[in-house]
């Protein structure tokens, strides 16, 4: 271990997250590899190691001969200060080598608020922030993938390319090309031109963006043979997609410290606000028997005694019952506890929850998202109050006494009535408990949480304004006034981050300057409340002459070219616009299993969705 | 059922794994190796295993001891080979045996406390440091039960100190009380920093080398 590193570790919190050496970490002989990848997660170790995508791609890259992929996470503030003070560059956890010396620096970016951490990690690695300042040499190649990259524009100046969609096949193809380029001594421009021909690879520097006087995009013009439209990549057959059975077991506690079994990709539901629901289409399931095998094998290899089933809407897995039967048999005999998050409010799900809870009555969580049926229909959230109450009736009579309910404020078409509806729903929950609770001595705990709705690209609401901050605060206040029951705890999301998220989510590449300015002013780990400071961002917008409200609070016209218009997630704008219109008319759209509504994603899987 | 005492090394990257995290790690290591550890009875059963003397984060050791018992009868032989493939880097089982001494019989610990001086060891440091640590009293700040920092004399807990000079380092081989009350060898370095400020080291390393019984025989 680097001696300088050893000397700072006693002074930082949780040093174990900075040293690597965990069980199953991949260490290769340097002489046996020609391509070194620094796989960077722009958040803390605890968050990054909990990310299943990161584990999948780590395995896939390390399964490639000649390639060694190592992990890098964002240091916490105390560690960052020590690194900077002692001039220790950011390093790969496996080898301890400086990130700046790697061939490929690959970021996995799930959310916009991680952008400052991307810049900070480049800076801590001694890599020039802007791609244009990194010269024509092939390395380091700075790439980014993950859900946030469906609109990579705010990072366009800093990354060499973005991988759109799922990385299982895309990343090995890209690395294979890189190795060829390295062998043959290509420079970076040549490599980027070639990479742009791989489906799913978006090279921002190969597109010229012009703007209208009003600040909206006039045209995005590809150059040097780059495609007009970059189509996302997906795994066609989930049974062929590797599952990381043999995966790193951190020696220190992380957020999701357990086996996570991914049942399927995509979602059949079509909630109109949900970016994941649209961009991961279409649904692709793993077979049940395979999942049962993976689950057992992963527990055995890791020694974990907790397993969770994960997907966007887990109870939509067609063979969930069989899977739970199989897994339960294994888990019971091996003292593994099995949990099922993201459940729907229906009898089937409640039955399963009861069965798996084995007497442990932890809190139940539901996400009605909106307070009235009208608004739930408008956002196509397929949950009725009757279903919720039925589920709760059953839960309360079986001894549950804690319920968490999640909502959003500021959804398109929301009125005061919808907001007050949230408080009313909470009251109905209390009534339900009074009437049906089997044990009233413990009381009931109801937590209502609201967040501030952020319109995202590739959703039916991508044209919608985010409500202003004043309006958001008024709505929170309104809800507080109506939330009178003592059994209800009301938590509302602080507005600052949601506002910035709304700006960055639909930002264009001019925001690169704002990002860099905010970074220079100290925005480093802004996904964390401890470090986030909106005033830095306001200053940055001022200095760059850009108005954040233009991005967050402006309603877009149907024909507007979006900064992300060059990307295709398989679901077309026509379809999304139709969904938006139906939302205005409070007309729901059936889920993919009930009836295909023709979103276009079927073309990603050869024409027919096997929902 | 069998009871075991595992002797293991904790060094390198593993030095930064905390005591609780290491306990959790061993739980998983046993599962990986297919061994079934005995669990406590009751509503929240937990595996019966404990370290004889927890080690501070950042310190290394060549003599860590973990007590545990298995449900099946198992031989001690082959235990190290069985467990070692499943451990994180830096943790390595040396041997395994049935416990000889009860934990309360553990009396002393020996450690090497290395005081690193980047600009060379100050003249006379070996003598001055030994004199300090073997003098009348050695007052250091220490957390009391109420979590407040208070001055304490740790001299009664220091058994022996021998200093030897190496390149840019003064290595103290110390024997101190291990428990009831015990003293963390790092505090000896803290005493140097406090009472001999001109000899305050740039960095301190602690490597635990032995746990002993009252009569100085190895605790095992
Ligand atoms: S094409 Fe039809 S079935 Fe396939 S994802 Fe779109 S709506 Fe669902």
pLDDT over 90 (residue A438):
no
The tokens for A354 are 């009861």
Among the candidates B78, B99, B120, a domain finishes at B99
Q: pLDDT tens for residues A468-490?
A: 999 999 999 999 999 988 899 99
The confidence score (pLDDT) of residue A356 equals 80
**Mean pLDDT confidence for A506-526:** 97
The confidence score (pLDDT) of residue A428 equals 95
Residues B200 and B110 in one domain: yes
Backbone angles phi, psi at B30, to 5 degrees: -65, -40
**Mean pLDDT confidence for A99-113:** 97
Judge contact between A458 and A576, C-beta under 8 A: yes
The confidence score (pLDDT) of residue A350 equals 80
In a domain, A100, yes or no: yes
What whole-number distance in Å separates Cα of residue A223 and Cα of residue A205? 9
Q: Enumerate long-range contacts of A367-370, CB under 8 Å, 24 or more apart.
A: A367/A405, A367/A406, A367/A407, A368/A405, A368/A406, A368/A407, A368/A425, A369/A271, A369/A273, A369/A406, A369/A407, A369/A408, A369/A411, A370/A407, A370/A408, A370/A411, A370/A414, A370/A418, A370/A421, A370/A422
The confidence score (pLDDT) of residue A472 equals 96
Strand order of the β-sheet with A201-202 is A67-73, A35-41, A104-108, A141-145, A161-163, A201-202
pLDDT band at A409 (very low <50, low <70, confident <90, very high): very high
What whole-number distance in Å separates Cα of residue A510 and Cα of residue B135? 69
A567 C-alpha to ligand 1 centroid (Å): 19
Least CB-CB distance to B21: which of A6, A9, A16? A16
Least CB-CB distance to A251: which of B17, B30, B203? B17
Across the interface, whether the CB atoms of A20 and B13 are under 8 A apart is answered yes
What whole-number distance in Å separates Cα of residue A85 and Cα of residue A100? 18
Judge contact between B3 and B98, C-beta under 8 A: yes
What whole-number distance in Å separates Cα of residue A318 and Cα of residue A341? 16
The chain-wide mean pLDDT, for chain A, equals 95
Please tell me if residue B18 touches chain A, with a CB cutoff of 8 Å: yes
Residues B11 and B94 in one domain: yes
The confidence score (pLDDT) of residue A398 equals 86
Higher pLDDT, B80 or A354: B80
Q: Which of A574, A599, A610 to mutate to test the pocket of ligand 1 (most atoms within 8 A of CB)?
A: A599
The confidence score (pLDDT) of residue B144 equals 84
Chain A residue numbers with beta carbons less than 8 Å from the beta carbon of B12 are 1, 21
* Low-confidence stretches of chain B (pLDDT beneath 50): none
Helix (H, G, I), strand (E, B) or coil at A104: strand
Which residues are CB-neighbours of A142 under 8 A, at least 6 positions away?
A105, A107, A122, A127, A131, A134, A158, A159, A160
The tokens for A549 are 């409200």
Residues B194 and B112 in one domain: yes
What whole-number distance in Å separates Cα of residue A495 and Cα of residue A529? 11
Helix (H, G, I), strand (E, B) or coil at B75: coil
CATH number of domain containing A91: 3.40.50
Among the candidates B81, B99, B117, a domain finishes at B99
Domain that includes residue A38, residue range = 3-231
What's the number of domains chain A is made of?
Answer: 1
Q: pLDDT tens for residues A296-343?
A: 999 999 999 999 998 988 889 999 999 999 999 999 999 899 988 767
The confidence score (pLDDT) of residue B138 equals 96
3-state secondary structure A106-175: EEECCCHHHHHHHHHHHHHCCCCCCHHHHCCCCCCEEEEECHHHHHCHHHCCCCCEEECECHHHHHHHHH
Q: pLDDT tens for residues A23-43?
A: 999 999 999 999 999 999 999
What whole-number distance in Å separates Cα of residue A283 and Cα of residue A592? 9
In a domain, B220, yes or no: no
Helix (H, G, I), strand (E, B) or coil at A74: coil
Q: Is the peptide bond before A93 cis (omega within 30 degrees of 0)?
A: no
The tokens for A91 are 């390093």
Residues B87 and B157 in one domain: no
Strands B203-213 and B60-70: parallel
3-state secondary structure A482-542: HCCCCCEEEEECCHHHHHHHHHHHCCCCCHHHHHHHHHHCCCCCCCCCCCCCHHHHHHHHH
Q: How far is A243 from chain B (nearest CA, A)?
A: 19
Q: pLDDT tens for residues A253-288?
A: 999 999 999 999 999 999 999 999 999 999 999 999
The confidence score (pLDDT) of residue A346 equals 80
Residues B126 and B206 in one domain: yes
pLDDT over 90 (residue A349):
no
Judge contact between A42 and A117, C-beta under 8 A: yes
In a domain, A109, yes or no: yes
pLDDT over 80 (residue A358):
no
Residues B28 and B80 in one domain: yes
Residues B85 and B125 in one domain: no
What whole-number distance in Å separates Cα of residue A252 and Cα of residue B25? 8
Q: Which atom of ligand 1 is nearest to the CA of A597?
A: 7
In a domain, B66, yes or no: yes
The confidence score (pLDDT) of residue A359 equals 67
Interface predicted TM-score (ipTM) of this complex, two decimals: 0.93
pLDDT over 70 (residue A424):
yes
CATH number of domain containing B59: 3.30.70.580
Judge contact between A398 and A354, C-beta under 8 A: yes
The confidence score (pLDDT) of residue B2 equals 87
Residues B113 and B91 in one domain: no
The confidence score (pLDDT) of residue A342 equals 64
Residues B202 and B110 in one domain: yes
Q: Which atom of ligand 1 is nearest to the CA of A599?
A: 6
In a domain, A120, yes or no: yes
Which residues are CB-neighbours of A368 under 8 A, at least 6 positions away?
A345, A376, A381, A383, A385, A388, A405, A406, A407, A425
In a domain, B18, yes or no: yes
The confidence score (pLDDT) of residue B40 equals 87
CATH number of domain containing B143: 3.30.70
In a domain, A376, yes or no: no
Cβ-in-10-Å burial (0-12, 13-18, 19+) of B85 comes to exposed
Residues B87 and B119 in one domain: no
Please report the residues numbered 286 through 305 in chain A whose beta carbons come closer than 8 angstroms to any beta carbon of chain B: 299-305
If we measure between CA atoms, which residue out of A488, A478, A355 comes closest to residue A417?
Answer: A478
What's the number of domains chain B is made of?
Answer: 2
Judge contact between A576 and A562, C-beta under 8 A: no
In a domain, A17, yes or no: yes
Q: pLDDT tens for residues A136-159?
A: 999 999 999 999 999 999 999 999
In a domain, A84, yes or no: yes
Q: Tokens 């057959």 appear where?
A: A237
- Ligand 1 pocket by Cβ (under 6 Å): A 281-282, 592, 596-599, 601-602, 609, 611
Judge contact between B35 and B70, C-beta under 8 A: yes
What whole-number distance in Å separates Cα of residue A505 and Cα of residue A115? 11
Domain that includes residue B202, residue range = 106-213
In a domain, B218, yes or no: no
Among B45, B47, B49, B89, most A C-beta atoms within 10 A, so best to mutate, is B89
In a domain, A158, yes or no: yes
Among the candidates B64, B99, B134, a domain finishes at B99
What whole-number distance in Å separates Cα of residue A243 and Cα of residue A249? 15
Which residue's alpha carbon is nearest to atom 8 within ligand 1?
A592
pLDDT band at A361 (very low <50, low <70, confident <90, very high): confident
């Amino acid at each position: 271990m680097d001696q300088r590193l050893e000397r700072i570790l006693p002074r930082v919190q949780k040093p174990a997250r900075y040293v690597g050496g965990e069980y199953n970490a991949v260490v290769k002989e340097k002489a046996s590899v020609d391509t070194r990848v620094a796989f960077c997660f722009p958040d803390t170790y605890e968050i990054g190691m909990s990310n299943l995508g990161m584990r999948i791609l780590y395995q896939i890259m390390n399964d490639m001969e000649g390639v060694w992929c190592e992990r890098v996470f964002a240091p916490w503030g105390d560690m960052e200060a020590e690194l900077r003070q002692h001039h220790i560059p950011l390093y790969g956890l496996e080898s301890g080598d400086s990130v700046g010396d790697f061939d490929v620096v690959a970021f996995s970016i799930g959310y916009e608020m991680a952008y400052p951490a991307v810049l900070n990690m480049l800076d801590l690695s001694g890599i020039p922030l802007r791609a244009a300042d990194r010269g024509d040499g092939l390395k380091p190649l700075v790439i980014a993938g993950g859900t946030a990259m469906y609109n990579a524009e705010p990072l366009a100046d800093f990354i060499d390319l973005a991988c759109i969609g799922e990385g299982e096949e895309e990343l090995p193809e890209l690395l294979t090309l890189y190795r060829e380029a390295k062998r043959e001594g290509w420079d970076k421009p040549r490599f980027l031109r070639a990479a742009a021909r791989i489906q799913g690879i978006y090279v921002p520097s190969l597109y010229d963006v012009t703007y209208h006087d009003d600040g909206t995009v006039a045209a995005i013009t590809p150059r040097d043979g780059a495609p007009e439209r970059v189509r996302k990549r997906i795994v066609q057959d989930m049974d062929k997609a590797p599952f990381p059975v043999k995966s790193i077991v951190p020696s220190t506690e992380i957020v999701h410290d357990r086996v996570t079994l991914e049942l399927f990709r995509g979602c059949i539901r079509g909630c109109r606000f949900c970016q994941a629901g649209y961009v991961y289409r279409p649904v692709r399931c793993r077979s049940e028997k395979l999942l049962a095998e993976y689950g057992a094998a992963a527990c055995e290899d890791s020694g974990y005694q907790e397993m969770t089933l994960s997907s966007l809407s887990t109870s939509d897995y067609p063979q969930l019952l069989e899977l739970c039967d199989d897994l339960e048999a294994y888990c019971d005999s091996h003292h593994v506890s099995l949990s099922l998050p993201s459940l729907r409010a229906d009898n089937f799900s409640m039955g399963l929850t009861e069965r798996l809870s084995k007497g442990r009555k932890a809190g139940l969580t539901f996400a009605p998202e909106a307070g009235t049926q009208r608004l739930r229909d408008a956002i196509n959230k397929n949950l009725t109050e009757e279903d919720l109450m039925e589920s709760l009736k059953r839960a309360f009579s079986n001894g549950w006494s804690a319920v968490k309910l999640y909502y959003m404020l500021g959804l398109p078409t929301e009125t005061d009535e919808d907001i007050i509806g949230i408080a009313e729903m909470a009251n109905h929950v209390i009534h339900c408990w009074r009437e049906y609770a089997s044990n009233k001595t413990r009381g009931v705990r109801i937590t209502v949480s609201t967040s501030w709705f952020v319109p995202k690209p590739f959703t039916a609401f991508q044209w919608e304004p985010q409500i202003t901050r004043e309006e958001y605060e008024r709505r929170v206040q309104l809800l507080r006034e109506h939330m009178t029951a003592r059994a209800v705890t009301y938590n509302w999301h602080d507005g600052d981050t949601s506002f910035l998220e709304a700006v960055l989510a639909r930002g264009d590449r001019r925001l690169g300057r704002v990002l860099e300015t905010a970074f220079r002013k100290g925005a480093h780990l802004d996904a964390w409340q401890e470090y986030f400071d909106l005033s830095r961002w306001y200053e940055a917008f001022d200095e760059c002459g850009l108005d954040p409200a233009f991005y967050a609070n402006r309603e877009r016209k149907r024909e507007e070219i979006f900064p992300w218009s060059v990307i295709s997630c398989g679901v077309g704008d026509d379809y999304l616009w139709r969904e938006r219109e139906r939302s205005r008319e409070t007309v729901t759209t059936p889920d993919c299993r009930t009836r295909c509504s023709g979103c276009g994603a079927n073309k990603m899987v050869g024409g027919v969705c096997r929902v | 059922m069998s009871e075991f005492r595992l002797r293991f090394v904790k060094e390198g990257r593993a030095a930064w794994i905390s005591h609780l995290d290491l306990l959790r790690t061993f739980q998983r290591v046993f599962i990986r190796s297919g061994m079934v550890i005995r669990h406590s009875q009751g509503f929240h059963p937990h595996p019966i295993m404990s370290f004889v003397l927890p080690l501070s984060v950042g310190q290394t050791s060549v003599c860590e001891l973990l007590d545990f018992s298995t449900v099946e009868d198992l031989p001690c032989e082959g235990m190290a080979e069985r467990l070692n493939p499943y451990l994180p880097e830096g943790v390595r089982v040396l041997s395994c045996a049935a416990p000889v001494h009860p934990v309360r019989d553990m009396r002393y610990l020996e450690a090497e406390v290395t005081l690193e001086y980047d600009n060379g060891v100050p003249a006379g440091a070996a003598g001055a440091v030994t004199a300090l640590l073997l003098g009348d009293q050695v007052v250091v700040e220490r957390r009391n039960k109420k979590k407040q920092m208070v001055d304490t004399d740790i001299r009664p807990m220091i058994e022996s100190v021998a200093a030897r000079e190496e390149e840019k380092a003064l290595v103290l081989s110390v024997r101190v009380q291990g428990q009831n009350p015990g003293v963390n060898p790092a505090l000896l370095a803290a005493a140097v920093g406090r009472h001999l400020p001109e000899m305050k080291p740039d960095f301190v390393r602690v490597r635990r080398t032995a746990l002993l019984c009252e009569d100085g025989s190895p605790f095992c």
